[in-house]
Amino acid sequence: MCCIVIANGATSVPGSRSCCHGLSTNRRRNRRNGRLGLYDPGWAKRSGAIAERLKSGAESAVEEAEQLLDEQHGYFDRSGNGNNLVRSATRFSAAIRKSRPALALAWARLAKVIEPWDGYAWTNEGAALIAQGNFPDAVAVYRETKARFPEDAVARNGLAETLKAWHKLPEAEAEYRETLARFPGDSYAHTGLAGVLKARGEIAGTEYRETEAPLPKIVRL
């Protein structure tokens, strides 16, 4: 029995003999390239295909994802270029968030460690925490993301959405209003604010017209 090394190189999972000795030529090359830290121009295409397989629940997709992340991590270790690794990790995290939230969180955090300046890596971690129902940690991540990337509307709306899901409606309303003060045309913030006001029974008159105006076909009582 042989082992499959997972993305961070710290964990190994036993593999079957058929898996180890029945690999196609391409998969043998991919494993060798991963060990050597070689770049593969086919990574982007593989990453997209694997993400689709993860979404569909294909049984082998997780192993395929871990193998690709291992190869890309090898290249990152050798070259310092983590772009491909981060793109794949965030893509895989989003694809598996609903079905495997713990694994989605691990992949999201891998991306954030490699590129902490990438706002999407941070919001992706927040989304994975929400998928686990971990609202306190999700709020903490989104608050830090908002502080680091104040112009990131996704982080702001993510924070507000988490507060709303956590039934902290006054705080959620404040966040949505702050977002709209900075980004008046943000449709997500308008819709989110309408949801909060409706939940609180406060949509009426001026408030309703103000919230409805940008999205008359989306926000309805």
pLDDT digits (tens, 9 = 90+) for 69-91: 999 999 999 999 999 999 999 99
pLDDT of residue 23: 39
The contacts found for 106-111 with CB under 8 angstroms, 24 or more apart, are 107/7, 107/65, 107/69, 110/7, 110/8, 110/69, 110/85, 111/85, 111/86
Q: How confident is the model at residue 59 (pLDDT cuts 50, 70, 90)?
A: confident
Whole-angstrom distance, CA of residue 152 vs CA of residue 180: 12
Residue ranges of the chain that CATH labels 1.25.40.10: 134-221
Residue 45, classed as helix, strand or coil, is helix
Quick: pLDDT tens for 9-40: 443 333 333 333 333 555 555 555 555 688 99
Name the one residue in this structure whose structure tokens are 């893509």.
Answer: 91
Q: Tell me, which fold does domain 134-221 have in CATH?
A: 1.25.40
Whole-angstrom distance, CA of residue 150 vs CA of residue 141: 13
CB atoms inside a 10 Å sphere around CB 148 = 13
pTM of the model: 0.75
Whole-angstrom distance, CA of residue 7 vs CA of residue 159: 29
Round the CA-based radius of gyration of the chain to a whole number and report it. 21
What would the mean pLDDT of 203-208 be, rounded to a whole number? 49
SS (H, E, C) 68-99: HHHHHHHHHHHHCCCHHHHHHHHHHHHHHCCC
Tokens of 165: 């899901």
